[in-house]
A and B are shown apart, each in its own frame.
Chain A
Amino acid sequence: MTENTQPIQGTSLWKDAWKRLLKNKLAVFGLIVLGIMVIAVLIGPAIIRWTTGFTADYIPSDVGIGELVASFPPSWQHPMGTDEAGRDLLARVLQGGRISLMVGIISTIVSLIVGVSYGAIAGYMGGKIDNVMMRFVDILYAIPYILIVIVLLSVFGGPNTPDWIKWLAELFGGAGNAGLSQIFLLFFALGLVSWLTMARVVRGQILSLKNQEFVLAARATGVSTLGIIFRHLVPNALGPVIVYATLTVPSVMLSEAFLSFLGLGVQAPYASWGSLAADGIKNIAIYPWQLIFPGVTMALTLFSLNFVGDGLRDALDPQTRKF
């Protein structure tokens, strides 16, 4: 309603950026693909269950009991073929997509929370504290992240799983999902190793912001240090943070796939695109579709995410717009 009564409407940074993003054809393509992917993953398994009467992760092909189960190539009945156990691969890919996309979202949120707080505190405090905190980041950079993930998984895995992770897993998958809570633990572990660059990005932003007048004004009016950091400084540094977060999503998804490829990530009966591709690699010479469909689905998603990330960067940073 207010839009009609105001003759001239100012555009906010975000509206402006959104407009610029929509002008970028590749980014729009990416957004559409991602939208389709999310919807397919959300409602796909339910539709499959409704049309075939089987749960998404098990649709028997026409293999009788006692017959040698072989993987069938793509057909009308099984658009992506079937896997080694005769399960419909499309259903598995949709099911795996849930976990793969969830890795992208949850791990990125974790890395966002840790990285932004860490970088903002280091940048605002400055001096010795900043120096020590950033040297610690340098040290973590030099330690292969896979070591940290494995240690986190073994420290907090199995019986030591924190209750809130079990609670989250139950929220998504129903009660009694010991396997699912291990997957959620993996999400958090991946988030906890992906915040380093985010912390550097945020620190750089805060360093350039903290000497501006609005910070001085906030301090003069008695806002607490934490209040200044999180209510005044961080919102002003959000642009680069969002851009970097969209680029973190594909990178954590790749890390999850890589861990699943090594057999350390998502384990049966659960699947992710990475674990499906890892299964497919074993049979590449005989059943190539087992690798190609999960691999291509994942590549397409990452491709779109990267385009959206690039588009966001151009949209939120008008300086690079001319490129």
Chain B
Amino acid sequence: MLSFIIRRLLLVIPMALLVVTVTWTLVRLAPGSFYSGEKTLPPAIEANIKKKYGLDKHWLEQYGLMMLNIIRLDFGDSLKYPDRNVNQIIRDHFPYSATVGILAYLLALALGLTAGIVAALKQNSAFDYGSMTFAMLGLSVPNFVLGPILVSVFSLTLYMFPPARFGGFMSLVLPVITLSAIYMAYIARLTRAGMLEVMRSDYIRTARAKGLSEKTVLLKHGLRGGIIPVVSFTGPALASLLAGTVVVEKVFAIPGLGNIFIQSVLNRDEPLILGIVAFLSILIMLFNLAVDISYGFLDPRIRYE
């Protein structure tokens, strides 16, 4: 187990470096650069800019220097916000994304798991059909439609919650609901399918046969196997939630990482793009590792090689 974790942790570093390499290649492939605007620069000025940012060196040397900085976890200064360090930008904006993201995922887990379990236990009941149709609705209504509709109903008509800006609990309610809708729908569907499959399996019959109460069968045996699909979904979902979700940040004016990333891509702000992508990929891999470890606790049949 320990050697499995160590091996996977060691793999995170080369994988993150590969992700950064591919991203760097992509950014360099696109024509234009961060300093190119509507006006074409005089060649002398362009040469000076290139010299300042080391763009006049051979591309291999540029790549090497970039990689050296990444390995030292120093992503350098942003090109568009010259007074701000990339690490600083991530530190400043990540907490906002993380707060909204974690709250949204917790809400999605609480409601999605409950709905999924009840729907599976009362298969083909009115609750089953109702909650699954509702879940389908959650998958189908884009969040940039849901968010503004919630704002116009609850903020602009009923004056219950502030329409935008980050500050205090009340301002979090609408963004968290908007963000969690689709995850809630996914979790409810995954839980229902997983529970249906598990509750028909032999070990549940054994548990029932040895006289365990239905509650114990469900919560101690059924749930552990039934939520494995949800656990697999949690890794990538939580990582993308933590990284910030652009739509919700835009609609509710939250200063999260998602918008910063989109801006950095549009600005061709290379250090910022690479920094956020590296941060994000490490996050994804760590969450996936956590998911793989938790399989062992949920299903004793799963072994680590």
- Given the known interface contacts A298-B142, A303-B140, the answer about A261 and B247 at a Cβ–Cβ threshold of 8 Å is yes
Measured between beta carbons, the chain A residues less than 8 angstroms from B15 are 135, 138-139, 142
| Structural contact, A258 and B284, CB atoms closer than 8 A | no
Measured between beta carbons, the chain B residues less than 8 angstroms from A151 are 26-27, 29-30
B283 to chain A, nearest CB (A): 9
How many chain A residues touch the partner (CB < 8 A)? 43
The chain A residue sitting closest to B151, CB to CB, is A284
A115 to chain B, nearest CB (A): 18
Q: How far is the CA of A144 from the CA of B23 in the complex (A)?
A: 9
Q: How far is the CA of A300 from the CA of B39 in the complex (A)?
A: 45
Stretch at the interface among A5-13, A56-64, A285-293: A285-293
| B156 touches A (CB below 8 Å) | yes
Most chain-A CB neighbours within 10 Å: which of B140, B196, B285?
B140
Measured between beta carbons, the chain A residues less than 8 angstroms from B144 are 257-258, 261, 277-278, 281
| A65 touches B (CB below 8 Å) | no
Chain A, 21-50, CB within 8 A of any chain B CB? none
| B246 touches A (CB below 8 Å) | yes
| Structural contact, B23 and A155, CB atoms closer than 8 A | no
| B277 touches A (CB below 8 Å) | yes
| B111 touches A (CB below 8 Å) | no
The chain B residue sitting closest to A142, CB to CB, is B281
Q: How far is the CA of A281 from the CA of B280 in the complex (A)?
A: 29
- Given the known interface contacts A139-B19, A295-B142, A302-B139, the answer about A146 and B262 at a Cβ–Cβ threshold of 8 Å is yes
| B265 touches A (CB below 8 Å) | yes
| Structural contact, A144 and B19, CB atoms closer than 8 A | no
A141 to chain B, nearest CB (A): 8
Most chain-B CB neighbours within 10 Å: which of A135, A144, A155, A281?
A144
- Given the known interface contacts A142-B281, A144-B277, A154-B31, the answer about A258 and B247 at a Cβ–Cβ threshold of 8 Å is yes
How many chain B residues touch the partner (CB < 8 A)? 45
B21 to chain A, nearest CB (A): 9
Chain B, 139-175, CB within 8 A of any chain A CB? 139-142, 144-145, 148-149, 151-152, 156
Q: How far is the CA of A99 from the CA of B15 in the complex (A)?
A: 38
| Structural contact, A143 and B136, CB atoms closer than 8 A | no
| Structural contact, B22 and A143, CB atoms closer than 8 A | yes
| Structural contact, A146 and B142, CB atoms closer than 8 A | no
| A184 touches B (CB below 8 Å) | no
Measured between beta carbons, the chain B residues less than 8 angstroms from A238 are none
| B266 touches A (CB below 8 Å) | yes
The chain A residue sitting closest to B277, CB to CB, is A143
| B108 touches A (CB below 8 Å) | no
| B18 touches A (CB below 8 Å) | yes
Measured between beta carbons, the chain B residues less than 8 angstroms from A140 are 22
Chain B, 222-273, CB within 8 A of any chain A CB? 236, 243, 246-247, 250-251, 261-262, 265-266, 273
| Structural contact, B141 and A139, CB atoms closer than 8 A | no
| B193 touches A (CB below 8 Å) | yes
| Structural contact, B31 and A299, CB atoms closer than 8 A | no
A295 to chain B, nearest CB (A): 4
- Given the known interface contacts A257-B144, A291-B145, A295-B145, the answer about A142 and B280 at a Cβ–Cβ threshold of 8 Å is yes
| B110 touches A (CB below 8 Å) | no
The chain B residue sitting closest to A148, CB to CB, is B26
Q: How far is the CA of A192 from the CA of B244 in the complex (A)?
A: 23
Measured between beta carbons, the chain B residues less than 8 angstroms from A277 are 142, 144-145
| Structural contact, A147 and B142, CB atoms closer than 8 A | no
Q: How far is the CA of A288 from the CA of B247 in the complex (A)?
A: 19
Measured between beta carbons, the chain B residues less than 8 angstroms from A81 are none
Q: How far is the CA of A303 from the CA of B138 in the complex (A)?
A: 9
Measured between beta carbons, the chain A residues less than 8 angstroms from B247 are 258, 261
Measured between beta carbons, the chain A residues less than 8 angstroms from B32 are 154
| Structural contact, B152 and A284, CB atoms closer than 8 A | yes
The chain A residue sitting closest to B240, CB to CB, is A144
| B137 touches A (CB below 8 Å) | yes
- Given the known interface contacts A151-B29, A288-B152, A306-B136, the answer about A146 and B265 at a Cβ–Cβ threshold of 8 Å is yes
| A97 touches B (CB below 8 Å) | no
A306 to chain B, nearest CB (A): 6
The chain A residue sitting closest to B144, CB to CB, is A261
| Structural contact, A147 and B273, CB atoms closer than 8 A | yes
| Structural contact, B30 and A295, CB atoms closer than 8 A | no
| A76 touches B (CB below 8 Å) | no
Measured between beta carbons, the chain B residues less than 8 angstroms from A323 are 123, 193, 196-197
- Given the known interface contacts A154-B31, A303-B136, the answer about A257 and B262 at a Cβ–Cβ threshold of 8 Å is no
What 4 A-B pairs are tightest by C-beta distance, nearest first?
A295-B145, A142-B281, A302-B140, A303-B140
A residues near B, CB below 8 A?
135, 138-144, 146-148, 150-151, 154-155, 160, 250, 254, 257-258, 261-262, 274, 277-278, 280-281, 284-285, 288, 291-292, 295, 298-300, 302-303, 306-307, 310, 320, 323
**8 A-B residue contacts at CB 8 Å?**
A139-B15, A147-B277, A155-B29, A257-B142, A284-B148, A303-B137, A323-B196, A323-B197
Given contacts A142-B280, A144-B261, A306-B140, 8 further A-B contacts (CB under 8 A): A141-B236, A143-B26, A154-B32, A261-B144, A281-B148, A299-B137, A302-B140, A310-B136
